[in-house]
Structure 1
Amino acid sequence: MIEWLKKVSLFDNLNDDQLEHILRIANRRTFQTGTILFQEKDYGNTFYVVLTGTIKLFTRSNSGEEKILSLVNAGESFGELSLLDGRPRSASAQTLETTTVLELSSQTFMELLQTHFDITRGILAELCRRLRQTNEHVNDLTFLDGRTRVLKNLITLANQNGKRDGQIITVHMALNFDELAQMAGVTKIVLTDVIREFESRGVLQFGIGEYKINLLKLRG
């Protein structure tokens, strides 16, 4: 289990003894595809570290329309904000595939922050990264057209989750097309048109649960 924790960016600066301490106060749980871990506006008392799988963080409008804010993959964490500021959850969380997480309760999490500055510093860095990501997303929605947003979103997912073999990047994709469109901030029709265009040019190749990006074709 320590080897799993070493992959978590939040715990980069911790030694084996400190990681063992985290394991002693955490609960390991596995959730099936489609499980809601918490809803937007719930009061949070748990912080999560993803060991395997993928979780989407999303909100819903008053009309019920869903907007995906981000994907959380193995080695990443979520749920800190509600524990730190005491306010309701700012988004809902749902598994996109079978997912295993470590859960830390509010009390043990706060004790952890008080006794391990390395973890506190890591969380501050992570929150700053998410704020920058949010600012970039708002900028994209304001200034980029739908076609560019789709392509940028696919490349971002490839950078985060892809495996490169020569000039081909293969990306495991837990999102369906509706969710991919929501994440890019476009309609499904726009998404489909863009994918067809790049497939015809040999840039993209979609398969079952994955897609491939040809870097040579992309640069061309």
Structure 2
Amino acid sequence: MDETLARAGIFQGVEPAAAEALAQTLETVEFPRGHVIFTEGEPGDKLYIIKSGKVKIGRKSADGRENLFQIMGPSDMFGELSIFDPGPRTSTATTVTEVSAVTMDRPALRQWISTRPEIAEQLLRVVARRLRRTNNMVAELIFTDVPGRVARALLQLAQRFGSQEAGLLRVTHDLTQEEIAQYVGASRETVNKALADFAHRGWLRLEGKSVLILDPERLARRAR
């Protein structure tokens, strides 16, 4: 099985032969940057696993403002709620970069679940982790100021997408500053001010759609 797929939550704890058989039923799909994979409110009938690239998950408020819940990358799965709940999609998924993914529809996966209950257990664990992260995000919006939320978001993105570069940590997030603002639930101006302050203090260096973290310890303290 592809190593990226093998790390996906749906395959964790599933015996290799069953995981390989399930992987063989997945359909590969390719999306360009900026493509809307699905939209909040439309019927949901598939789950997706990312092989390469990044996808943002968010929703719009009644006044048109957008909030981002998740920035997903290789091995991440999304759209799984449609497997358990045939209701409309609760968010919109849009590609941040070019994306290669695999997908499976509800009937095919439910057939697998009926014979392999451990797959359902793994899906429920993924959903539970997603809910826990959502609860943490709500708490941050209430109890943490904007600079603290920006610092925490950068560290979370570093954990997911960071790479070592000459002893420093580079985070290639591929997000615009507007998208970072949507991710932390603040205005672009406030986020820009926080990033400029971090750069002035020597904690990081801004380089387009990536950040070079120079002092992760101070950034972590600011995130608390």
CA distance in 2, matches of 1:99, 1:53: 4
Q: Which residue of 1 aligns with 2:101?
A: 101
Q: Which residue of 1 aligns with 2:168?
A: 168
Structure 1 residues without counterparts, runs of 5 or longer: none
Give 1:208 shift: 2.9
The answer (yes or no) to whether the contact 1:163–1:169 under 8 Å persists in 2 is yes
Give 1:9 shift: 2.9
Supply the AA of the counterpart residue of 2:162: G
Deviates more, 1:19-28 or 1:164-173: 164-173
Q: Could you say what secondary structure the match of 2:7 adopts?
A: coil
Give 1:57 shift: 0.7
Supply the AA of the counterpart residue of 2:69: L
CA distance in 2, matches of 1:216, 1:131: 27
Deviates more, 1:156-165 or 1:47-56: 156-165
CA distance in 1, matches of 2:207, 2:48: 31
Give 1:177 shift: 0.3
Residue deviations 1:167-210 (CA, integer Å, cap 9, x gap):
52111112100000111111111111111111111111111331
Give 1:215 shift: 3.2
CA distance in 2, matches of 1:208, 1:189: 17
Q: Which residue of 2 aligns with 1:181?
A: 181
Percent identical residues = 25
Deviates more, 1:123-132 or 1:165-174: 165-174
1:47 paired with 2:62, answer no
CA distance in 1, matches of 2:89, 2:106: 13
The answer (yes or no) to whether the contact 2:59–2:68 under 8 Å persists in 1 is yes
CA distance in 1, matches of 2:206, 2:112: 43
Give 1:3 shift: 2.4
Give 1:148 shift: 0.8
CA distance in 1, matches of 2:108, 2:206: 43
CA distance in 1, matches of 2:117, 2:69: 29
* Aligned alpha-carbon RMSD (Å): 1.7
Q: Could you say what secondary structure the match of 1:14 adopts?
A: coil
Supply the AA of the counterpart residue of 2:27: N
Structure 2 residues without counterparts, runs of 5 or longer: none
Give 1:165 shift: 4.8
Assess, with a 3 A threshold, how the Cα gap between structure 1 residues 30 and 147 changes in structure 2: closer, same or farther: same
TM-score of the pair, normalised by structure 1? 0.93
Residue deviations 1:122-170 (CA, integer Å, cap 9, x gap):
1111111111101110001111111111111111111121113575211
CA distance in 2, matches of 1:83, 1:125: 14
Q: Which residue of 2 aligns with 1:203?
A: 203
Q: Which residue of 2 aligns with 1:62?
A: 62
Q: Could you say what secondary structure the match of 1:25 adopts?
A: coil
Assess, with a 3 A threshold, how the Cα gap between structure 1 residues 201 and 46 changes in structure 2: closer, same or farther: same
1:23 paired with 2:23, answer yes
TM-score of the pair, normalised by structure 2? 0.92
Q: Which residue of 1 aligns with 2:91?
A: 91
Question: Which runs of 4 or more aligned residues in structure 1 lie more than 4 Å from their structure 2 counterparts after TM superposition?
Answer: none
CA distance in 2, matches of 1:217, 1:72: 25
